[in-house]
Amino acid sequence: MEMNELTPHLEELKRVLENKVDEEQLVEDLNTYINVYHLDLEAAKRGIVRKYGGNNIGFVTAEAVSKKIGDLNGSEQNVDILAKVVFFEKKEVTARGEKKIIVSGILGDETATASFTVWDGASCELEKGAVYTFKNAYVKMWNDRVQIHLGNRGIIEKSNTDIQLPERNISYSSSEAKISDLKEGIGNVTVTGRILTVETRNIIVKGEQKVVYSGLMADDTGKIQFSAWNDFGLKEGETICITNAYIRGWKGIPQLNLGERCEVSRVDDNFQDADIGGSSVKTVGEIVRTGGGLDITLSGTVVDLRMGSGLIKRCPECNRSVLNNECVSHGTIIPKLDLRMKVVVDDGTGAISAVINRECTEKLTGITLKMATDLAKARGESEIIAKSMAEKILIKHIRIRGNVMSDDYGPMMIVKEADLDPIDVTAEAAKLLETVEGSI
């Protein structure tokens, strides 16, 4: 892409980042994201804004168009929507260490309903049942459902238009599912599993103190976190059947929620002595289908070592990785050194990013933190560490275990255990030959 073509996008990046990053650095970052990471332009811009702690909701890429909710496809960047407020709530959240007020809820028109969020909600005043035009909105897709967002350029105007929402047939029947099949957005589900841990937490909701019962539950296919707002008398080690639960998610990890309509019963099923406390073995394809999960094991080949690998600096307070000795939460700091690898693992069903900590990095590569520090000092630069790691890890078959989260860029595993997984070449060759002969 020529410089004159990049100019409007650079100006947009500078505006969104409030001119905190110089143009030369932005050009370098754009080149890296587009030509090295092979991202499209819009994804590259979002990645750069995220890198420098900016706010992606400031982007506008085209003149606004008007659409019905049922016509939204999840890729709109600047759209006007006429809709009725079915439900809304105003709440305080913490974003990048700062508290802010947002408004979220459900919008509807004659074609469909969708969730919405107003990210600058301090001065936003809505009325349930009233109709508004939501201007300059942008739309994302999450678990096959559109989500409407209004950023700092969003405008809300009240309308006198009458909108009649379509009638909905609501079913309260509950369907059975295994934990490995659960994903965000599922409702009215029945799950049977063993309680591994349970604890209570006191939180404040709308000025009132509430007790939340949370913990970890497992069956013979996987594990899931649960939260209950009522005391069901849950105890560690018992096997229960939960009816009419619903699934929410945090960074792609499904979470089981026990609401007011839930029923809990004790059962004798011990899963035929299955190791339900162990890790769940999955393929990348299975992980992509569910979005994420807890304590997952997968095997594959390391096909890439990404930027951000090698010798890195961390904030001693919050342990975040930092650039130029600046932490987004604690300002200028004296960093501590650490090792990590950011790899891409391919198992034939798909590819997944994985972040490998120092302990596992030292185990897989044989490069210790002291060796890396001494080598970086001797060479006067730290890039040599990542190059040395790449020589030892690329095209190696590994087995990794950890929690998998998902975002706009796909699933990512935070690895807590890792081992090289040597391949029996003779056995694999025989298997391949059998497959080929079977297809002739």
pLDDT in tens, 343-360: 999 999 999 999 999 999
The HSE-up count of residue 62 (CA atoms within 13 Å, CB side) is 11
Q: Does the structure show a pLDDT above 60 at 4?
A: no
- Domain match, 243 and 216 both: yes
Are 135 and 218 in a shared domain?
no
436 located within any domain: no
Q: Which of 10-14, 68-72, 387-391, 402-406 is the least confident region?
A: 10-14
| Per-residue CA distances from 340 to 183, 310, 337, 410 (Å) | 30, 6, 10, 20
User: Does residue 273 share a domain with residue 288?
Assistant: no
Residue 46 has pLDDT above 90, yes or no: no
The residue among 372, 390, 394 whose CA lies nearest residue 381 is 372
**pLDDT at 313 > cutoff 70:** yes
Q: What is the pLDDT of residue 97?
A: 65
CA distances from 7 to 45, 116, 206 (A): 13, 32, 47
pLDDT of residue 181: 85
Q: Does the pLDDT at position 341 exceed 90?
A: yes
pLDDT single digits (tens) 117-166: 998 888 899 999 999 999 989 888 765 678 999 987 889 999 999 998 87
| Higher-pLDDT residue of 296, 6 | 296
Which pLDDT does position 121 carry in this prediction?
86
What is the arithmetic mean of pLDDT over 30-52? 77
In a domain, 59, yes or no: no
Residue ending a domain, choose from 97, 128, 159:
159
Q: What is the greatest pairwise CA distance in the chain?
A: 74
What does residue 15 show for φ and ψ, rounded to 5 degrees?
-65, -50
Q: Which domain holds residue 131?
A: 65-159
Residue 218 or residue 431, greater confidence: 218
Q: pLDDT at position 310, please?
A: 93
The rounded percent of the chain whose pLDDT value lies above 70 is 87
The model's confidence at residue 275, banded by pLDDT at 50, 70 and 90, is low
Report if residue 377 sits inside a domain.
yes
Q: Say whether pLDDT at 168 is over 60.
A: no
pLDDT: which is higher, 344 or 271: 344
Question: Once rounded to an integer, what is the mean pLDDT over residues 282-293?
Answer: 85
- 279, two tokens: 């890790």
- Are 185 and 148 found together in one domain? no
CA distance 401 to 221: 15
Task: State how far the Cα of 143 lies from the Cα of 253, in Å rounded to an integer.
Answer: 12
Same domain, 327 and 268: no
pLDDT at 339 > cutoff 70:
yes
**Structure tokens, 33:** 């994201």
HSE (side-chain half, CA atoms, 13 Å) at 363: 15
Mean pLDDT across the stretch 166-185? 70
| Residue 396 reports pLDDT greater than 90 | yes
pLDDT of 108: 92
Tell me the C-alpha distance between 425 and 179, whole Å: 35
Per-residue confidence at 96, pLDDT binned at 50, 70, 90?
low
Is 48 within 8 Å of 16 (Cβ atoms)?
no
Residue type, 430: A
The listed range with the strongest mean pLDDT (18-27, 241-250, 349-358) is: 349-358
Is 167 a member of any domain? no
Q: How confident is the model at residue 428 (pLDDT cuts 50, 70, 90)?
A: low
pLDDT at res. 270: 60
- 421 and 288 within one domain: yes
Structure pTM?
0.55
- Specify the pairing of strand 145-150 against strand 113-118: parallel
Mean pLDDT of the chain, nearest integer: 84
CA-to-CA dists, residue 252 to 1, 152, 255, 301, 341, angstroms: 34, 26, 9, 23, 22
Q: What gap in Å lies between CA 190 and CA 242, rounded to an integer?
A: 5
Specify whether 30 is located in the same domain as 71.
no
Which range (109-118, 186-195, 430-439) has the least confidence? 430-439
Q: Is the pLDDT of residue 61 over 60?
A: no
Report whether pLDDT(180) > 50: yes
List phi, psi (to 5°) of 237.
90, -15
Give the Cβ contact number of residue 319 at 10 Å.
11
Say yes or no: 288 and 411 in one domain: yes
Residue 366 lies in a domain: yes
Residue 403 lies in a domain: yes
Establish if 402 belongs to a structural domain: yes
Name the domain boundary from 242, 277, 312: 277
Q: Are residues 298 and 419 in the same domain?
A: yes
The domain tally of the chain equals 4
Q: Is the pLDDT of residue 317 over 70?
A: yes
- Better pLDDT: 37 or 316: 316
Strands (E), 12-130: 65-66, 79-95, 98-108, 113-118
Outline where DSSP puts E strands in 119-160.
131-142, 145-150, 155-159
- Rounded to an integer, the average pLDDT of 257-263 is 85
Clarify whether residues 211 and 300 are in a common domain: no
Domain closes at, from 159, 183, 204: 159
Query: Within this chain, do residues 303 and 401 fall inside the same structural domain, yes or no?
Result: yes
Q: Which residue has the higher pLDDT, 232 or 208?
A: 232
Residue 170, in any domain of the structure = no
CATH number, position 264? 2.40.50.140
Helix (H) or strand (E) holding 30: helix 23-31
Residues 196 and 227 in one domain: yes
